[in-house]
Amino acid sequence: MLTPDVVIPILKAAVGAVTLLLLGSLAALAKGNKRLHGRINLIFFALTMTAVLGLEVIIRFVNPEFTAGFSPDDRRALNIHLGFSIPAAILLPAMLYSGKTHRSWHVPLAIVFSALWAGTFVTGIFFLPYSFPKL
């Protein structure tokens, strides 16, 4: 069954892994390799959106009671995390488009996205619980 005990640690690992991709993308950009930066960001986009949509399918259709066992503190941590991750996910398509088409607003958007992603990383890795009480 796709319970929080299974899904949350997988998502924590996924956030860590795509963050490493994002850092690799920034390293490529710092070295002047814009093409590699774009390719890594395309992979980052695909993996991140797959995780976001996968979680939505799990909590809406596969296991609608996914958060039923969350304590008030767990729910608060999840809501704080979603306060960063949802806006970051909404910005992702605009980031991809603006980067691919070399729009002038790509860098300012990247700054906002970076702040949101930092919040996503910190709250996802450190604030969300690793285990949940059994129902």
Give φ, ψ of 127 to 5 degrees: -95, -40
Q: What pLDDT shows up at residue 36?
A: 98
Residue 118 lies in a domain: yes
Residue 37 lies in a domain: yes
pLDDT (tens digit per residue) in 93-121: 999 999 999 999 999 999 999 999 999 99
Are 52 and 89 contacting, i.e. CB atoms less than 8 angstroms apart?
yes
Q: What pLDDT shows up at residue 131?
A: 75
Residue 110 lies in a domain: yes
Number of structural domains the chain divides into: 1
Residue 116 lies in a domain: yes
pLDDT (tens digit per residue) in 57-79: 998 899 898 888 888 999 999 99
Rounded distance between C-alpha atoms, residue 66 and residue 5, angstroms: 10
Residue 135 lies in a domain: no
In terms of residue numbers, what domain contains 114?
4-127
Residue 132 lies in a domain: no
Number of H helices, E strands in the chain: 4, 0
Q: Mean pLDDT in the chain? A: 93
Residue 134 lies in a domain: no
pTM: 0.91
Residue 133 lies in a domain: no
